[in-house]
Amino acid sequence: MVIFGAGGDLTKRLVVPALYNLSRTHALPDDFALIGVDLAAGTAETWQGHLHDMLQSFVGDPAAALHIDHIDDDAWQRLAAKMSYLQGDLTQPDLYERIGEALAPRANVIFYLAIADRFFGTVIDHLGGAKLTDQNEDDYGQHAFWRRVVVEKPFGHSLDSARELNARILRTLHEDQIFRIDHFLGKDTVQSIMSFRFANGLFEPIWNRDRIDHVQITVAETVGVERRGKFYEATGALRDMVPNHVFTLLSMVAMEPPAGFDAAAIRSKKAEVFAAMPTLTPAQAVRGQYAAGTVLGKPAVAYREEPDVAGGSNTETYVALRLEIDNWRWAGVPFFIRTGKHMSRRTTEIAIRFKQAPNRAFEDTPVHTLPPNWLVLSIAPDEGISLQFEVKRPGPVVDLAAVKMEFRYADWFPKEPNVGYETLIHDIMIGDQTLFMRADMIEQGWRVVQPVLDAWAAETADFPNYDAGSDGPKEADALIAAEGNRTWRPVDPPPAAKP
């Protein structure tokens, strides 16, 4: 593996800790080698030292990206012994000549682009120019050795830029060499969505417009923009989260059953979901920006007061959308998605509300309305699945109480320390593209949201419009309530009372 951006935060906090975990579980090949490439001067020893210091900072810190109580010295030494370092300018051809000289003959190579997205095209152009992406094939089309390139999000900043980036990359690489990585998909609970749907005959027959009223997808964060003001000013919540993280969750919920669990079949079914989504209009979108407030008991400043943020910034830190999927399974079922920073609680969940049962049989009882049934897939931080339904209260009177059947991963499976990249890196090594976005999926995602981005760019927003530590702006409540009695599920619900 060759990591461009070896001294960057992504490499230190996520990529190398994931490799350490793979070493700890003996999931790395015996002859695995790691080459770090960066503009900063350094040696293999100094690079190893910085990475070890980062791992050491994780020990005993519950807020760290990797929750560990000690470093496995044997696992670290197995990884560190295979590390080397190259200093060089990513824009200069001589760097790629030296990379080629450092690679073993006929080596399988992963080029990991842990760098700013403006350099993606440049690095891939140079890799191709130096013939480092060439794969050797035998007479049967099998690779005697392979070359793969990992591209971190963002995959463009608009529909046009995504198309340009894809076209540029595909001039050098084949689609099966490109791994557009989204760490969100490394979560076990995200990957289990398809297994839950397709392995249980109980749910798939009712997974359609006949039984489902609507779907809510929430990705709420308690953190603000922290030290990423410059990045966020040019990006905003919609670009940062929706065409990648949130749309991927949506595609897993909405896709048709694949013919098999191979990458080609699954990605094709996901792509069908993107293609069936009509383009959004500005009326189907709400944006927000946080004001000062209190988050988890601590004061938080307004977005416009964050470092590197303009005083009159129109950048959104919250977005809510009403989406549709115009196919036979989902026509008429709205999908409501929201994501925001400095909200009341950190949570990622997919909530499916089923249509209410007829109330006629209960008219002469204390039951005036029948509450809806909810199926909730909790992605983070408390991974699990719950189903809410009605039961009769004990006693002579016909009355109902809402109860839950609840499954928690932590109650059934041991929790292994990870940063979310371990599964993804392993899949790259074995060439499994199931969890990685294809070029057409990227472009379809941008197609859906582009009219909203264009409209917002031409308008001045009335910001800020929600307090830090709240559930978002009131305009989002109006968006979901526009068609009836629908409301958002509370981001931070009160403890459930026993009936």
- Known catalytic residues are 245
Separation of alpha carbons 58 and 63, rounded Å: 8
Residue closest to 464 by CA, chosen among 220, 354, 301, 266: 301
Distance between CA 232 and CA 315 in Å, rounded?
8
**CA end-to-end distance (rounded Å), the chain:** 56
Return the H-helix or E-strand segment holding 193.
Answer: helix 188-198
Decide: 383 and 408 in contact? Cβ < 8 Å.
Answer: yes
3-state helix, strand, coil in the chain (%, to 5): 35, 20, 40
Q: What are phi and psi for residue 123, nearest 5 degrees? A: -65, -45
190-226: burial string, b at 16+ Cβ within 10 Å, e else: bebbbebbeeeeeeeeebeeeebbbbbbbbbbbebbe
Question: Could you give the C-alpha distances from 437 to 283, 366, 408, in angstroms and in order?
Answer: 28, 51, 28
Is 338 in a helix, a strand, or coil? strand
Nearest Cα to Cα of residue 40 among 110, 109, 101, 115: 115
**195 is written with which tokens?**
């297994």
Where is 165: in which H helix or E strand? helix 159-170
Q: Are strands 384-392 and 400-408 parallel, antiparallel or unpaired?
A: antiparallel
* Degrees, nearest 5: CA angle 232-236-238: 150
Report the distance separating Cα 233 and Cα 276, nearest Å.
Answer: 31
* 109, β-bridge pairs: 147
d(CA 418, CA 426): 13
User: In this structure, what are the phi and psi dihedrals at residue 82, rounded to the nearest 5 degrees?
Assistant: -105, 15
